[in-house]
Structure 1
């Protein structure tokens, strides 16, 4: 493994909904171009995206600009809280940030989602490339971030924007995570 790696962990742009085939809004398409402008000079060499359309379409302008393929990765899809309609879903979601093993009917725990997302990060660290863009969804992104910073919780998830960008620098045994997009806007 190269001793230095950088991963840009990205939340997708504004979308029409939560389904896998939800498209970006008109504003979301504009944001995708702004995201490409923001990331163009970051020397990204490899792009991974959730298989959901809104994630793929969020990074497509950058991929085209850099002449890179977007590698679709099923493990980057959004975390499913439950397959049932939950009227109190926000309260139930908040609980999953303090107890990572809670599983609601038909859903996955925070720990399960975190592990699949972090597995993608760990695989990137073993690749020859040094700079990556990983596009995912808010809940999964916050859980991946939490893996590297235990202080991350429900509040940080609530504060995410569409899009959002975090820079994760890996050097030897040191990991530094900085939120970039909030500072940009």
Structure 2
């Protein structure tokens, strides 16, 4: 059985790619490392955004696990322009997966790229992999595994958060929330 740990980054100072963890976020990263230390993770794949890398760095350094950065794990861009009604647009994007706002990325396109990462991991040799990314993108992967996971579930995510996706020998996927904030 394959185990894929989906990890949402810890509390950050902003949404920009180079936004760092806050002081609280750094403490969360230490707790996250402690939480995951017994999971025997073999590989870590992360969004290259600073907050994602900093979130998993304590575990990576303690366990000596190689870190691979993957652009497919960057956060979904709902819109390239600021939106006053961004929350309503985001909610609508869970119902209409093909909705595009301006020059943004549809939920379907974003979901396709993170599912591609999951499929690569399921075909790969490692049995226990940590995948570090962002709330909206991880929600789209969780929606792929369980279509009931939608906007309201996205709203209930914490920073950090950890879900486990397991794949049985027949290829069926199940998900479990592990992190209790």
Q: Is structure 2 residue 9 aligned with structure 1 residue 12? A: yes
Corresponding residue for residue 101 of structure 1:
98
- Measure the CA separation in 2 of the matches of 1:94 and 1:60: 32
- Give the TM-score normalised by the residue count of structure 2: 0.98
Q: Which residue of 2 aligns with 1:154?
A: 151
Moved runs in structure 1, 4+ residues, more than 3 A? none
How far off its partner does 1:174 sit? 2.2
Could you state the TM-score of these two structures normalised by the residue count of structure 1? 0.96
Per-residue deviation, residues 87-137 of structure 1 (Å, max 9, x unmatched): 000001000001100001110000000010111111011111100000000
Q: Aligned residue for 2:69?
A: 72
2:174 is aligned to: 176
| Aligned-partner SS, 2:77 | coil
Structure 1 unaligned regions, length at least 5: none
RMSD: 0.7
Distance in structure 1 (CA, Å) of the matches to 2:22 and 2:81: 26
Rounded to whole Å, the distance in 1 between the matches of 2:151 and 2:161 is: 16
Per-residue deviation, 1:29: 0.3
Q: Give the whole-Å Cα distance in 2 for the aligned partners of 1:11 and 1:17.
A: 14
1:165 matched to which residue of 2? 162
Q: Which runs of 5+ in 2 are unaligned?
A: none
Matched with 2:48 is: 51
